[in-house]
Chains A and B, each alone.
Chain A
């Protein structure tokens, strides 16, 4: 049982480039989340999804897009990378809203 898997683990982007952070979970969880964590700071919710085909904005959605075509996958898209998006990105999933969330190991993104 792999849990929540994120790829890549590290990435360096140039300003204006685009990329997709991949997240997949094998626990058949309905809820999935994307957070970002800046150095020395707490986690801020970017987007979340309550099931396939349904997504909603979190606290800091600007500059990002998501899709949820399957229960397992919840990719995060950066269209025009900016230095302000340098951060560690965590994906998580949970069976329901008020239940334990399982986190991936994170993707460390640097935009230069």
Chain B
């Protein structure tokens, strides 16, 4: 079963830019890459989605290289309220089965 890989944890200070990378070697040709944020005792919440190159919205940017085997979520000027677990989600091909797999998640801690 193909898997995604993310750093387990990251620390940052308020006002800094944070970049979190996800590796997904077996991504399917037509699959998008989606990032979610999760606070304790809550369901994940959508942040951003992309297919290739760069996508930007009001809260984040997503960078995807040409081979699409990885992606980087960029959070500009983080605040204390951005402390959460961040997951990347891709549809991964495993033989003939489709698996919608979350990465292991990255615990981001923003320090004052």
Contact = CB atoms under 8 A, between A and B. Distances in A.
Nearest to A91: B43
Interface string A62-103: 000000000000000000000000000010100001111111
A58 interface: yes
B66 interface: no
Contact of B100 (A42, A45, A102): A45
Contact of B43 (A41, A90, A97): A90
A43 interface: yes
B43 A103 contact: yes
A45 B4 CA distance: 14
A42 B23 CA distance: 15
Contacts of A42: 87, 102-105
B101 interface: yes
Contact of B49 (A41, A59, A100): A100
Contacts of B45: 103
Contact of B31 (A4, A59, A98): A98
Nearest 5 Cβ contacts at the A-B interface? A103-B43, A98-B32, A100-B46, A43-B102, A42-B102
Given A42-B87, A98-B34, 12 more contacts: A33-B100, A44-B101, A45-B100, A56-B98, A58-B99, A92-B44, A97-B91, A98-B32, A98-B49, A99-B49, A104-B43, A106-B41
25 contacts: A41-B104, A42-B87, A42-B104, A43-B87, A44-B101, A45-B100, A45-B101, A48-B100, A57-B97, A58-B100, A59-B1, A59-B99, A59-B101, A90-B44, A98-B34, A98-B49, A99-B49, A100-B34, A100-B49, A101-B34, A101-B46, A102-B46, A104-B43, A105-B43, A106-B43
Interface of B: 1, 30-32, 34, 41-46, 49, 87, 89, 91, 97-105
